[in-house]
Amino acid sequence: MPKKVLDARNITVTYKTEKGPLDTVRDVSLKICSGEIYGLVGESGSGKSTLARAIVRYLPENGYLKSGELELGDTNLLSLTKAEMRRVWGGRITMVHQDPNAAINPSVMIGEQIAEVVRTHLHLSKQEAKDKALEMLTKVRMADPEEVARRYAHQLSGGMLQRVLIAIAMATNPELLILDEPTTALDVTTEAVILDLIGDLMREYDTAVLYITHNLGVVARVCNRVGVLYAGEIMEEGSIGQVFKNKLHPYTRGLLGCVPRVDVNKKDISLKAIPGFIPRPDQLPPGCVFAPRCELVEEACREARPALKDIENGHLTACRRYEALKGYGDVIADTREAHEEAGYGELVLEARNIKKYFPVPGGMALFSKSKKQEVKAVDDISVRMRHSFTMGIVGESGCGKTTFARCIMGLEEATSGEIELEGELLPYSVAKRTRDTLRKMQMVFQNPDASLNPQHPAGEAVARPLVLLRNLNKNAVQERVKELFEAVNLPEDYIYRLPHELSGGEKQRVAIARAFAADPTLMICDEPISSLDVSVQAALMNLLVDLQESKGTSYLFISHDLAAVRHLSDWIAVVYLGRLWEIGSAEDVFVPPYHPYTEALLSALPIPDLDVKQESIRLKGSVPSAMNIPSGCRFHTRCPRKIGEICEKEEPPWQDTGYYHQICCHIPAAELQALQGEGLLKKGEGRAAQ
């Protein structure tokens, strides 16, 4: 019989600000039992981290718990003094944070950082604490615990550090573990390993877990119960079966509709973005907080705030009209009309054998006798792109995909290779390219905050390319800027706003308008949506699709997000350690036979659909350094399907496995097909069926 561990009732958290006190979390109740993993989902600004900090009573100085009750087991946490809370922290409640690189002290050895907790809370002797640290490192599956214990943070990879943090958190066998976006900063294959680890550990301990995340796929994979937080209030709560199956709140439906799916793409559906924004805590609507963005809104919704209602067996919703939702069907994305196959247009871009080697910095020839070291960021990548066509390049961080894009654009000078735009060979450096070339190629960058000059009004960014590359006069520029702002769905007065007055999604819209101002034939999108919330992502993806249809621009879309790439791309290239491993149409790449690396990526992808079953195929270790690339097949050090010595010694051959679908692997395609069967994504056998 699981016992109740955390009982938080009617929590309201207030921040003192220049505008007066703001309630960022309002009247939220949470109950978590032992052995249960409770997923708290919300977009940025929903108050999920604030809630977590309130639960551990570690709010910033201007924040305080205005009302509510907080119990851990039989202890009333609110009655404890600060010193007593310190005994709870790290002993009874532990926490793991988002960025593992920042959460570990850089100048204290790893082993000591585990040992100090058990010395403090379990009162172990020095030697006992040391042993305990090694035991915990073994538990989180560190290959060489003694070695790791003697290391410092900078010597470990992000995935390893996150395991260390989990080891620290579990060392005292806490009653409650709070995981605050523990895998957000990690690559998808590493994330999968960590999620497996969390799942396995929780079967062993009967700790109650509060898992905070923005990723519904992660919730679907590891949690038992889920609460959906919006603007500081719980919208829906229930077991994952209840919430994912029935979705009795329009916001839950909206969130799920924003996530691109891996079985269909832009030709079949358009994503259903939620209109509008999360209201700021100082501008809350009087009624239901979601009302201004809700499709089902009625007059009554705007008048009074609906209470959470228990529909059945602990499935709660804050929607007054949940009955109507039941009849609303399961359609969470708009089906598009049959899209006409565009056929093959002219060749726009052809990049052949692009290489980019960086010299290792800091070398002074006078003192280093060893031969020059190089980082081989991009090592022989070729792609071809046609008119009105999207090529998706997918790969994990550090694989060279961004460097490749920058070489194409001329922001980095390629070491070797050929770049042809519409049949014309381009110089490597952007400075040597003609105006006409510049006009034809534009780029949207990853970080919206850095992509606009903070001192210039937004319209300026869009106006400059018009002046320089289109030779328009003053009036024409103004007209065109207005049109472009309209095209990216920004109101006209945004033209005069400074970047700090815009949200991340709005800045990215300006960046898209800037890229389109030149009327390019090729646009490179370097992770343009990664730093944004899912609902904003969906809107931007729809915008990109619409603009492509009306203008016929080709996109080179670079992302680590498999689902987004799948949704937007006609053609997909998979990159690992500076080289391509698989290339083909989006439909082909995502069904077997696929390259073992593609297989691992697909298997790792958290999918917010309980009906999908994924084989568990995990990669060992971490990505080798691009300075010391493994011999033979450079994926062999981590490949789950390695067949033997040949993988270590010989570079694998390219195999044609269908309509221009190519895989670079030693395993014959037919054999891969046999090994991989029907593929990883099987409907109807997922967690819901268990």
Partner 1 sequence: MSETIKAIKPKEKKRSRFVSSFKRLRRYPTTLIGFTIVFIFLIIALFGPLLAPYAYTAQNLPNKLQPPSEEHIFGTDQFGRDVYSRIIVGSRDVLSVAGSGTALAVFFGMLLGLFSGYRGGLFDELIMRAMDVILSIPPLLLAMVILFSLGPSRVNVIIVVGFLYIPMVARVVRSVVLDLKTRQFIEAARLRGESSFYILYKEILPNVLPHLAVEASMRFSYSIFLVASLGFLGLGVQPPSPDWGLMVGEARTWFHQARWVLFFPAGAIALLVVGVGFMSDGLRRMLLPGGVSDA
Partner 2 sequence: MTYFLLRRIGFILITLILASIIIFSITQLLPGDVARVILGQFATERAIENLREELGLNRPLHVQYLHWAGGFVRGDWGNSLISRTPVRPIVMQRLGNSAMLAGLALLIYVPLGIILGVIAALKKDKLPDQLITGVSMAFVGLPEFVTGLLLITFLAIGLEWFPANSSINPDSTFRQAFPYLILPAITVSLTGLGYIARMTRSGTIDVLKTDYIRAADLKGLPASQVLFKHVLRNSLLPTVTVVAMGIGWLLGGLIVTEAVYGYPGLGRLIVYSIQRQDLPLLQACSMIIVAIYSISNLAADITYGLLNPRIRVGN
Chain residues binding partner 2 by CB under 8 A are 56, 58, 86-91, 94-95, 97, 99, 102-108, 116-117, 120-121, 152, 154-155, 165, 168, 364, 366-368
Say which residues have a Cβ less than 8 Å from residue 611's Cβ, sequence separation at least 6.
Answer: 683, 684, 685, 686, 688, 689
Closer of 97 and 267 to partner 2 (Cβ): 97
Which residue among 452, 513, 547, 589 contacts partner 1 (CB under 8 A)? 452
Give the C-alpha distances (Å, rounded to integers) separating 498 from 443, 449, 462, 503, 508: 21, 12, 13, 11, 13
451 binds partner 1 (CB under 8 A): yes
Q: CB of 359: closest distance to partner 2 in angstroms?
A: 16
* Region from 198-206, 283-291, 435-443, 542-550 binding partner 1, contact rule CB under 8 A: 435-443
Give the one entry of partner 2, partner 1, none that residue 461 binds, where binding means its C-beta sits below a cut-off of 5 to 8 angstroms depending on kind. Answer: partner 1
Give the one entry of partner 1, partner 2, none that residue 108 binds, where binding means its C-beta sits below a cut-off of 5 to 8 angstroms depending on kind. Answer: partner 2
Closer of 331 and 476 to partner 1 (Cβ): 476
Q: CB of 492: closest distance to partner 1 in angstroms?
A: 11
- What residues between 511 and 550 interact with partner 1 by CB under 8 A? 511, 514, 518
Give the C-alpha distances (Å, rounded to integers) separating 234 from 138, 174, 290, 501, 601: 38, 26, 11, 29, 33
* Region from 26-34, 255-263, 467-475, 623-631 binding partner 1, contact rule CB under 8 A: 467-475
Which tokens go with 579? 């080289």
Q: What is the 3-state secondary structure (H, E, C) of 292-321?
A: HHCCCCCHHHHHCCCCCEEEECCEEECCCC
Q: CB of 361: closest distance to partner 1 in angstroms?
A: 12
Number of shown-chain residues binding partner 1 (CB under 8 A): 41
Give the C-alpha distances (Å, rounded to integers) separating 111 from 127, 152, 302: 12, 9, 55
User: Among 517, 341, 521, which Cα is nearest to 423's?
Assistant: 521
Q: CB of 347: closest distance to partner 1 in angstroms?
A: 22
Closer of 165 and 333 to partner 2 (Cβ): 165
Give the DSSP letter of residue 652.
P
Please spell the DSSP secondary structure of 258-304, one letter per residue: HSPPSS--TTTEE--PPPS-PPPGGG--SS-TTGGG-TT--HHHHHS
Give the one entry of partner 2, partner 1, none that residue 91 binds, where binding means its C-beta sits below a cut-off of 5 to 8 angstroms depending on kind. Answer: partner 2
Closer of 250 and 520 to partner 1 (Cβ): 520
Closer of 20 and 60 to partner 2 (Cβ): 60
397 binds partner 1 (CB under 8 A): no
Q: What is the 3-state secondary structure (H, E, C) of 381-405?
A: EEEEEECCCEEEEECCCCCCHHHHH
Q: CB of 45: closest distance to partner 1 in angstroms?
A: 19
131 binds partner 1 (CB under 8 A): no
Q: CB of 429: closest distance to partner 1 in angstroms?
A: 10
438 binds partner 1 (CB under 8 A): yes
Closer of 33 and 498 to partner 1 (Cβ): 498
Closer of 198 and 563 to partner 2 (Cβ): 198
The answer to whether the CB of 599 falls within 8 A of the CB of 668 is no
Looking at the DSSP bridge assignments, the partners of residue 282 are none
Cα–Cα distance measured from residue 672 to residue 594, given in angstroms and rounded to the nearest whole number? 7
349 binds partner 1 (CB under 8 A): no
Closer of 59 and 411 to partner 1 (Cβ): 411
Which residue among 22, 311, 347, 498 contacts partner 1 (CB under 8 A)? 498
Give the one entry of partner 1, partner 2, none that residue 608 binds, where binding means its C-beta sits below a cut-off of 5 to 8 angstroms depending on kind. Answer: none
User: Among 607, 614, 506, 512, which Cα is nearest to 555's?
Assistant: 512
Q: b/e per residue, 362-394, with b = 16+ CB within 10 A?
A: eeeeeeeeeeeeebbbbbebebbbbbbbbbbbb
Can you give the C-alpha Rg of the chain in angstroms? 26
Which residue among 409, 426, 487, 572 contacts partner 1 (CB under 8 A)? 409
Cα–Cα distance measured from residue 68 to residue 77, given in angstroms and rounded to the nearest whole number? 11
Closer of 433 and 566 to partner 1 (Cβ): 433
Which residue among 77, 177, 208, 461 contacts partner 1 (CB under 8 A)? 461
Which tokens go with 407? 């070489």
Helix (H) or strand (E) holding 130: helix 126-139
Give the DSSP letter of residue 447.
-
Angle ∠(655,660,666) on CA atoms, nearest 5:
15
Give the one entry of partner 2, partner 1, none that residue 534 binds, where binding means its C-beta sits below a cut-off of 5 to 8 angstroms depending on kind. Answer: none
The answer to whether the CB of 406 falls within 8 A of the CB of 354 is no
16 binds partner 1 (CB under 8 A): no
Whether residue 593 has a cis bond before it, omega within 30° of 0: yes
432 binds partner 1 (CB under 8 A): no
What pairing do the DSSP bridges indicate for beta strands 334-335 and 20-33?
unpaired
Give the one entry of partner 1, partner 2, none that residue 102 binds, where binding means its C-beta sits below a cut-off of 5 to 8 angstroms depending on kind. Answer: partner 2
- Helices 504-517 and 474-487, interaxial angle, to 10°? 130
Which residue among 341, 343, 431, 644 contacts partner 1 (CB under 8 A)? 431
Which residue among 308, 468, 646, 688 contacts partner 1 (CB under 8 A)? 468
Q: Which residues bind partner 1 (CB under 8 A)?
A: 409-411, 430-431, 433, 435, 438, 441-443, 445-447, 450-457, 459-461, 463-465, 467-469, 474, 477-478, 481, 495-496, 498, 511, 514, 518
